[in-house]
């Protein structure tokens, strides 16, 4: 296999600001990060789970799932359910966090949901992902956007709150891309047809499929 090791922490020897967070997942049962997804930060990128995966508590049961080949820019914040508030009642004060009698009636299952980032997604600088959202494969999230609802495949989302600005390809092409799912191909096979993967010729990509 050519290319970086998917288990490397620093896949670029002379560029320490890029890390594969997958290498930091050990012992975290509530996180899955796919191979070759990277985080780029100018300082302490190894602190991804302390600075970027926020309010993520094991006891709540919510999961963060990130696919393969995801690019995460500096300052991205992924807010999990531990930071949410119950807003249906009169008070939003989080009594339960103080445990004891104040936790009476708190149901962790009410906060159990997944935040899912599909494969081949690009997330721009300082973007914020709110709890429980799904970003489908191939989507682009513009810098400083606040994603509060699901983003469909191969869409460009921007703004606060983020809205769909445009779709990158027509529906037929997107359907073919999702069916081909090049990001799930064996790594050795991905290495050969780079031109087809990086290009915009769906026929060429079909021919390159294993």
What would the mean pLDDT of 25-37 be, rounded to a whole number?
A: 94
User: Looking at residue 77, what is its pLDDT?
Assistant: 97
What is the reported pTM?
Answer: 0.89
CATH of domain 18-168: 2.160.10.10
| Residue 197, pLDDT above cutoff 90 | yes
144: left (phi over 0), alpha (psi -120 to 50) or beta: left
Decide: helix, strand or coil at residue 33.
strand
Output the average pLDDT for the chain. 91
Confidence of residue 106 (pLDDT cuts 50, 70, 90): low
d(C-alpha 73, C-alpha 18), whole Å: 10
Q: pLDDT per residue over 145-168, tens digit each?
A: 999 999 999 999 999 999 999 999
Q: Are strands 38-40 and 71-72 parallel, antiparallel or unpaired?
A: parallel
Q: Where are the domains of the chain?
A: 18-168, 169-210
Distance of CA 122 to the CA centre of its chain: 9
Q: What percent of the chain has pLDDT over 90?
A: 71
Say which residues have a Cβ less than 8 Å from residue 26's Cβ, sequence separation at least 6. Answer: none
């Amino acid at each position: 296999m050519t290319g970086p090791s998917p288990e490397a922490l620093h896949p670029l020897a002379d560029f320490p600001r890029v890390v594969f967070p997958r290498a930091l997942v050990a012992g975290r049962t509530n996180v899955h990060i796919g191979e070759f997804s990277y985080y780029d930060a100018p300082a302490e990128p190894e602190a991804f789970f302390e600075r970027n995966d926020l309010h993520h508590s094991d006891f709540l049961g919510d999961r963060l799932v990130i696919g393969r080949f995801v690019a995460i820019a500096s300052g991205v914040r992924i807010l999990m359910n531990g930071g949410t508030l119950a807003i249906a009642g009169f008070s939003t004060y989080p009594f339960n966090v103080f445990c004891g009698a104040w936790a009476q009636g708190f149901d962790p299952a009410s906060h159990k949901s997944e935040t899912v980032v599909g494969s081949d997604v690009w997330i721009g600088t300082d973007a914020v992902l709110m709890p429980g959202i799904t970003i489908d494969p191939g989507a682009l999230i513009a810098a400083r956007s606040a994603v509060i609802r699901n983003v469909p495949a191969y869409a460009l989302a921007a703004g606060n709150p983020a809205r769909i600005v445009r779709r990158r390809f027509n529906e037929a092409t997107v359907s073919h891309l999702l069916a081909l799912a090049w990001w799930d191909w064996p790594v050795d096979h991905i290495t050969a047809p780079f031109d087809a993967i990086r290009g915009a010729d769906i026929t060429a990509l079909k021919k390159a499929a294993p």
